[in-house]
């Protein structure tokens, strides 16, 4: 499965989660209520890795749903969902649940970002990140996870990135995020600040990744 397909699945998960929160009359009938205490508690006790959110509200939009251990799929990750259903807008077109904000945390698996299409690399909250989807989406790399911020525009996506903090672990939105322990597969031009961050990752992750790739190329060449 490509990274683009994985991101599409995360968007579709938002549709399912939000529709489940609404009355049986349909997803576009009105906004869902804020998340209930039991669902929030399940998300706050997710055991496998840090899950990120921006708090119980994102501006005017409440947190309306969150994944938990019961619904966890490793290839999709864990998501929190803010806001209501809007008809005929955004990536689904033709009418469906489209969220002002979805934040998905997934354990990072090495891949190239070339499938994201037009994109630019940036340093956000002190960690490497890629801005894509016409500025509506940002993927940040931290610890052993990738954090995907899906929003309606670049300003909202950047604002959400500035508010990110752990849902199921101690932490705050103040200061930088923890650097990734892996080397993200960035594509395209690398700004100097991003290059410096990559060169100083824990355990020299990018240097080790490049050495492993060079060794693999040498072995492949020798077998020909």
Q: Quick check: 13 pLDDT over 80?
A: no
Domain boundaries of the chain, sorted by first residue: 3-223
Q: What distance in Å separates the CA atoms of residue 198 and residue 52, rounded to the nearest whole number? A: 22
Q: What distance in Å separates the CA atoms of residue 116 and residue 101, rounded to the nearest whole number? A: 19
Q: What distance in Å separates the CA atoms of residue 44 and residue 188, rounded to the nearest whole number? A: 36
Instruction: Please report which confidence band the pLDDT of residue 17 belongs to, taking 50, 70 and 90 as the band edges.
Output: very low
Query: Packing angle between helix 192-199 and helix 205-223, nearest 10 degrees?
Result: 80
Q: Which two tokens stand for residue 193?
A: 């600040």
| pLDDT tens track for 179-222 | 999 999 999 999 999 999 999 999 999 999 989 878 777 777 66
Instruction: Identify the pLDDT of residue 90.
Output: 32
Q: Which two tokens stand for residue 159?
A: 């604002």
Q: Quick check: 3 pLDDT over 60?
A: no
Mean pLDDT across the stretch 111-128? Answer: 95
Instruction: Identify the pLDDT of residue 189.
Output: 96
Asked if residues 154 and 136 have their Cβ atoms less than 8 Å apart, the reply is: yes
Q: What distance in Å separates the CA atoms of residue 139 and residue 125, rounded to the nearest whole number? A: 12
The pair phi, psi for residue 86, each rounded to 5°, is -120, 130
Asked if residues 77 and 13 have their Cβ atoms less than 8 Å apart, the reply is: no
Asked if residues 39 and 70 have their Cβ atoms less than 8 Å apart, the reply is: no
Q: What distance in Å separates the CA atoms of residue 148 and residue 52, rounded to the nearest whole number? A: 9
The whole-angstrom distance between residue 12's C-alpha and the CA centroid of its chain comes to 14
Predicted TM-score (pTM) of this structure: 0.82
Question: Which residues lie across from 124 on neighbouring strands?
Answer: 127
Instruction: Please report which confidence band the pLDDT of residue 178 belongs to, taking 50, 70 and 90 as the band edges.
Output: very high
Asked if residues 119 and 108 have their Cβ atoms less than 8 Å apart, the reply is: no
**DSSP-derived pairing of the beta strands 145-151 and 165-166:** unpaired
| pLDDT tens track for 70-108 | 989 998 999 999 987 543 333 333 345 568 999 999 999
By residue count, the chain amounts to 224
């Amino acid at each position: 499965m490509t990274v683009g397909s994985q991101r599409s699945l995360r968007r579709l998960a938002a549709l399912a989660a939000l529709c489940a929160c609404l009355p049986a009359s349909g997803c576009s009938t009105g906004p869902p209520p804020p998340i209930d205490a039991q669902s929030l508690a399940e998300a706050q006790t997710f055991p496998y890795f840090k899950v990120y959110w921006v708090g119980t509200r994102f501006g005017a939009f409440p947190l309306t749903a969150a994944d938990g251990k019961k619904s966890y799929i490793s290839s999709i990750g864990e998501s929190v969902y803010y806001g209501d259903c809007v008809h005929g807008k955004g990536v689904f077109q033709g009418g469906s649940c489209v969220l002002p904000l979805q934040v998905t945390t997934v354990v990072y698996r090495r891949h190239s970002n070339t499938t994201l299409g037009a994109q630019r690399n940036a340093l956000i909250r002190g960690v490497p990140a890629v801005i894509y989807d016409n500025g509506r989406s940002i993927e940040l790399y931290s610890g052993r996870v990738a954090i995907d911020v899906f929003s309606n525009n670049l300003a909202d996506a950047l604002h959400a990135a500035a508010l990110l903090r752990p849902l199921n672990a101690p932490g705050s939105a103040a200061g930088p995020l923890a650097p990734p322990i892996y080397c993200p597969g960035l594509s395209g031009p690398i700004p100097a600040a991003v290059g410096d961050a990559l060169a100083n990752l824990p355990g020299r992750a990018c240097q080790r990744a490049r050495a492993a790739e060079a060794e693999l190329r040498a072995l492949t060449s020798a077998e020909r």
